[in-house]
Amino acid sequence: MTTTASTATDALPISQRLRERTAQAHESAERAAFLERLLGGNLSIDAWAALLQQYGAVYEALEAATRRLRERRDLPGLVVEELDRVPSIESDLAALAPRVSTPLPGVLPETRSYADRIHDAAGDPARLLAHHYTRYLGDLSGGQAMRVMIDRAYGLPDDEARFFAFDAIDELVPFKRAYRTRLDELPFDEAAISRLLDEANESFAHNERIFTALERTFA
């Protein structure tokens, strides 16, 4: 019985297996107290700027690694420049600076640990793709709703919300559909898929640890 269930799961597309295998970790991260307080308007704009600061370190690590993949022509159509977020984060932090009333915490140990995990995964396209998927597909999906909620709570004009804007992508829904199709077409064997799934759960766990650290910071 267990073997039959396992075989059926293995036959699913990679994108579906990712959604199903990470559902619990994804939900746990989304329910973090810091994120709920932030999106509910119960913190200050300083808390959003502090989260952006953490994202800056995470995306620096991720985009340094994906540049190397592009140079080697690995994962074509997936690790594309149109998704890069570092310049947008830097622009947002500069625009937000006049509104921030307390010193930002700097890059937290939990964030450095996440960046280190990405660096460690850089030599394995399957593991690195897990971080690529959790971050960028999240930004293209739930991240768009997050932008609306932060705007409603704190006011977020366009020049402070470049992180959420993917100007180089014409339409987000077809892009996400194409991303998942390319993901499903990857010639990964079961060992590589297993590493991808495990690493995606690690990625969500690292995000949750950052939220927990920020909850302590803004207690």
| 149 assigned to some structural domain | yes
**Residue 62's CATH number:** 1.20.910.10
Predicted confidence pLDDT, tens digits, the chain (219 residues): 444 444 556 689 999 999 999 999 999 999 999 999 999 999 999 999 999 999 999 999 999 999 999 998 889 899 999 999 999 999 999 999 999 999 999 999 999 999 999 999 999 999 999 999 999 999 999 999 999 999 999 999 999 999 999 999 999 999 999 999 999 999 999 999 999 999 999 999 999 999 999 999 998
Residue 114 known to bind ligand: no
Residue 18 falls inside a structural domain: no
Residue 119 annotated in ligand binding: no
Q: Would you say 218 and 34 are in contact if contact means Cβ atoms under 8 Å apart?
A: yes
For residue 67, the tally of other CB atoms under 10 A from its CB is 13
Q: Determine, yes or no, domain membership for 55.
A: yes
pLDDT tens per residue across span 23-53: 999 999 999 999 999 999 999 999 999 999 9
Total of domains in the chain: 1
Residue 207, class by beta-carbon neighbours within 10 Å (0-12 exposed, 13-18 middle, 19+ buried)? buried
Can you tell me the distance from the alpha carbon of 143 to that of 89, in angstroms, rounded to the nearest whole number?
14
Q: Is residue 142 part of a domain?
A: yes
**Pair of tokens at residue 107:** 């890059």
Instruction: Indicate the DSSP class of residue 134.
Output: I
Query: Cα(36)–Cα(72) distance, rounded to whole angstroms?
Result: 40
Each residue's pLDDT tens digit, 163-186: 999 999 999 999 999 999 999 999
Q: For residue 136, say whether it is annotated as part of any ligand binding site.
A: no
Residue 81 lies in a domain: yes
Q: Compute the distance between CA of residue 180 and CA of residue 190 in angstroms, rounded to an integer.
A: 18
Query: In whole angstroms, what is the distance from residue 209 CA to residue 172 CA?
Result: 28
| 67 is annotated as contributing to ligand binding | no
Question: Which domain, by its residues, includes 68?
Answer: 33-217
Residue 126 falls inside a structural domain: yes
DSSP 85-100: -HHHHHHHHHHHGGG-
Question: What is the pLDDT of the chain when averaged over all its residues?
Answer: 94
Q: Which of 177, 143, 179 is nearest to 163 (CA)?
A: 143
CA distances from 147 to 115, 153, 177, 205, 217 (A): 24, 10, 21, 22, 22
